[in-house]
């Protein structure tokens, strides 16, 4: 069995995989070594991969190195796709992991991965398993925070309602309408531009905020929760074969 760790900007996630199946998963605002040990105690882990866009405690790395065959995912880690990103050292590991997972399910098709989290990222891999890059846009709470931070009177929205009006009749409703409907229009607009160029395109939506869009997007999409964890599992398997 394999241990997958992903340290993101908002959440820190841990999972156990048995071959290609995720059999255990948990997300934390901040994970500790104690919690990692508790999480894996009942699983015969033999290898691990850790991906991080933040600094994490060195004791976690030391523990993983001693206990398992560990891979620290970086721009130098061998991967099963062609990466044509011009600055691989600045590429978010979550973005690359997501397109690797997408490439594994979209055989002979191009894929656009939309990951709605702290940021909304758009990443494209073609039908020859070549990754070119994509786009980065502010996530929902980043947009809410920007409206509050850069104005004097607009309130900070911290909870998103399931229903949001097109026409807001209060300031709070107007903010909901602008952010949620504006983001939805952004996503649909970008999908349309990609589909003009790539007729075989598979749209994959993931991320913690996907629930606000997956049933509202007019285009046909494939919802893939925790796509980054599946991509990291593929990377771990790919390197184990070397």
Which residues carry out catalysis? 94
Q: What are the strands, taking DSSP E only, across 8-104? A: 12-18, 21-28, 47-52, 69-72, 82-83
User: In angstroms, rounded to a whole number, what is the distance separating the alpha carbons of residues 171 and 101?
Assistant: 41
Closest to 140 in 3D by CA, of 182, 190, 179, 173: 179
Longest dimension (CA), the chain: 60
CA angle 7, 222, 115 (to 5 degrees): 30
Distance, CA of 66 to CA of 63 (rounded, Å): 5
Round to whole Å and give the CA distance between 234 and 61.
21
Cα gap 31→57, rounded to integer Å: 9
| DSSP states of 58-86 | HHHHHHHHHHSEEEE--TTS--SSEE--S
Q: Which two tokens stand for residue 60?
A: 């976690």
Find all residues with CB under 8 Å of 144, minimum gap 6, and list them.
156, 157, 158, 175, 179
């Amino acid at each position: 069995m394999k241990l997958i760790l992903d340290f993101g900007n908002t959440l820190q996630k841990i999972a156990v995989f048995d071959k290609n199946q995720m059999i255990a998963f948990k997300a934390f605002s901040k994970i500790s070594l104690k919690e990692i040990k508790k999480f894996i105690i009942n699983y015969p882990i033999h290898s691990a991969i850790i991906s991080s866009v933040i600094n994490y405690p060195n004791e976690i790395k030391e523990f993983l190195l001693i206990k398992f065959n560990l891979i620290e995912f970086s721009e130098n880690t061998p991967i099963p796709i062609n990466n044509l990103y011009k600055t691989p050292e600045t590429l978010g590991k979550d973005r690359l992991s997501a397109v690797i997972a997408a490439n594994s399910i979209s055989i002979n098709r191009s894929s656009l991965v939309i990951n709605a989290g702290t940021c909304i990222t758009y990443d494209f891999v073609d039908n020859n398993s070549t990754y070119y890059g994509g786009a980065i846009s502010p996530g929902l709470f980043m947009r809410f925070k920007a409206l509050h931070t850069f104005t004097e009177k607009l309130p900070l929205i911290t909870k998103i309602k399931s229903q949001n009006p097109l026409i807001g009749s209060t300031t709070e409703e107007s903010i909901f309408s602008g952010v949620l409907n504006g983001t939805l229009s952004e996503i649909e607009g970008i999908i349309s531009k990609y589909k003009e160029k790539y007729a075989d395109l598979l749209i994959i939506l993931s991320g913690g905020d996907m629930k606000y869009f997956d049933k509202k997007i007019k285009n046909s999409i494939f919802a893939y929760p925790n796509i980054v964890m599946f991509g990291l599992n593929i990377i771990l398997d790919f390197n184990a074969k070397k």
